[in-house]
Structure 1
Amino acid sequence: MTQIRPGDIFPVPEPDQGWSREVMTVDDAIVWPAGPMQRIPMCGITHADGRDCPEAAIYRGDTRMMAPVAVETRPQPAARLPGTHLWGGQVFAHFGHFMTETIPRLWASTHAGVESIVFIGKHEQLQKFSPWQQDFLALLGMDLPVTFVTEPTRIERLMVPGQGFGLGRIARGTPEFRAFIGRLQDRIEPKGAERIYVSRTKTGKKGRVLNEYSIEQNLIAQGYTAYHPQDHSPAEQLAQYMAATHVIGLDSSAFHLLGFMARPGQRVAVVLRRNMMAYVNIQRQLEGMLGRSPDIINVLLGDWMPPRQKGANRESWGQVDHHRLVARLTDLGYLDRPEAWTYPDEKDFNIAFAKFRKRMGGEVVFRPVEVPIEKIVAAARKD
Structure 2
Amino acid sequence: MQPAGVLHSDGRPCPQAALWRNGRALTTPPEAPQGKVAERRGTWLWGGVLWLHFGHFLVESTARLWALDHLEEEIDGILFIPKRPRNGGEVAGYQRDFLALLGCDKPLVSLDAPAQVERLIVPGQGFGLGSLITGTEPYRNTIANRFAQEIAPEGPEKLYISRSKLPAGRGNLIGEEALETYLAAQGYTVFHPEKHGLREQIAVYKAARQIIAAEGSALHLLGMVARPAQQVAIVVRRPSSATRGLEQHLQSFAGITTATLCHLTRSWKPLGKAKARLWMGELDMPALQDSLRETGFIDDSGPLWANLDPAEVRARLGDDFELVPEKD
Provide the residue aligned with 1:47 in structure 2: 8
Q: State the SS of the aligned residue for 1:150.
A: coil
Task: Output the CA distance in 2 between the equivalents of 1:139 and 1:185.
Answer: 5
**1:329 partnered with 2:315:** no
Provide the residue aligned with 1:176 in structure 2: 138
Task: Output the CA distance in 1 between the equivalents of 2:171 and 2:54.
Answer: 15
Question: Which structure 2 residue ranges, 5 or more long, are not aligned?
Answer: none
Provide the residue aligned with 1:198 in structure 2: 161
Runs of 4+ in 1 over 4 A off after TM superposition: none
**Quick check: 198-207 or 70-79, which moved more?**
70-79
When normalised by structure 2's length, the TM-score is: 0.91
Q: Deviations over 1:74-105 (max 9, x none)?
A: 42653333443211112111111111111111
Classify 1:43/1:134 alpha carbon distance in 2 versus 1 (closer, same or farther; 3 Å): same
Provide the residue aligned with 2:125 in structure 1: 163
Q: How does 1:1-383 map to 2 (within 5 A)?
A: 40-61=1-22, 63=23, 65-75=24-34, 78-110=37-69, 111-113=71-73, 114-124=75-85, 125-182=87-144, 183-205=146-168, 206-309=170-273, 313-337=276-300, 340-346=303-309, 349-357=310-318, 362-370=319-327
Aligned 8 A contact 1:195 1:244 in 2:
yes
Task: Output the CA distance in 1 between the equivalents of 2:36 and 2:223.
Answer: 40
Task: Output the CA distance in 2 between the equivalents of 1:369 and 1:251.
Answer: 21
**Quick check: 221-230 or 139-148, which moved more?**
139-148
CA shift at 1:179, angstroms?
A: 2.0
Task: Output the CA distance in 1 between the equivalents of 2:250 and 2:52.
Answer: 23
CA shift at 1:73, angstroms?
A: 4.5
CA shift at 1:343, angstroms?
A: 1.2
Aligned residues: 323
RMSD: 2.1
Q: Deviations over 1:163-185 (max 9, x none)?
A: 11111121111222122222235
Classify 1:345/1:283 alpha carbon distance in 2 versus 1 (closer, same or farther; 3 Å): closer
Task: Output the CA distance in 1 between the equivalents of 2:210 and 2:59.
Answer: 23
Given residue 186 of structure 1, which amino acid in structure 2 is its aligned partner? Answer: Q
